[in-house]
Amino acid sequence: MTSPARRREPALVRPHVVTGGRAHPTRNFFDVVTLVTTARNQCNGLTPEQRRVIRLCRGGALSVAEVAGHLALPVSVTKVLLGDLFDSGHITTRAPQVRPDAPSLELMQEVLDGLRARL
């Protein structure tokens, strides 16, 4: 068992500081599956978290949920950061592409029911 002194307490003020005290993005079009790509590589004047988003998205499109996971920040905080980056022209966004050959909803439900039956 870890001692209380070694336990890492969650930072309560960090999301507030990261967003500058804002709770909502300037635009409300980010969904957790919205894809984000870097549009401009210049990082002058950006916060450390915003610079990290730029570096993460250089390799290709990431969803908002993936960006939040990499940053270890709540999705709501990530959306505020992404809104600022979108407004400044550092990122672009697009909706995920739906594959026409994706499995049907019925098939997915059958798989889920089968997995639940085995547990």
The ranges assigned to domains in the chain are 14-118
Provide mean pLDDT across the span 77-85.
90
Instruction: State how far the Cα of 34 lies from the Cα of 62, in Å rounded to an integer.
Output: 8
Q: Return the pLDDT at 98.
A: 72
Instruction: State how far the Cα of 77 lies from the Cα of 94, in Å rounded to an integer.
Output: 19
14-118 CATH, one of 2.160.20.60, 3.40.190.10, 3.30.1330.40, 1.10.10.10: 1.10.10.10
Instruction: State how far the Cα of 107 lies from the Cα of 111, in Å rounded to an integer.
Output: 6
Q: Are strands 91-94 and 35-38 parallel, antiparallel or unpaired?
A: antiparallel
Contact 78, 32 (CB under 8 A): no
Amino acid at 4: P
Range of weakest confidence among 22-26, 61-65, 93-97 = 22-26
For residue range 88-107, what is the model confidence (pLDDT) as tens digits? 999 999 888 777 777 888 99
Q: Which residue has the tokens 């210049």?
A: 42
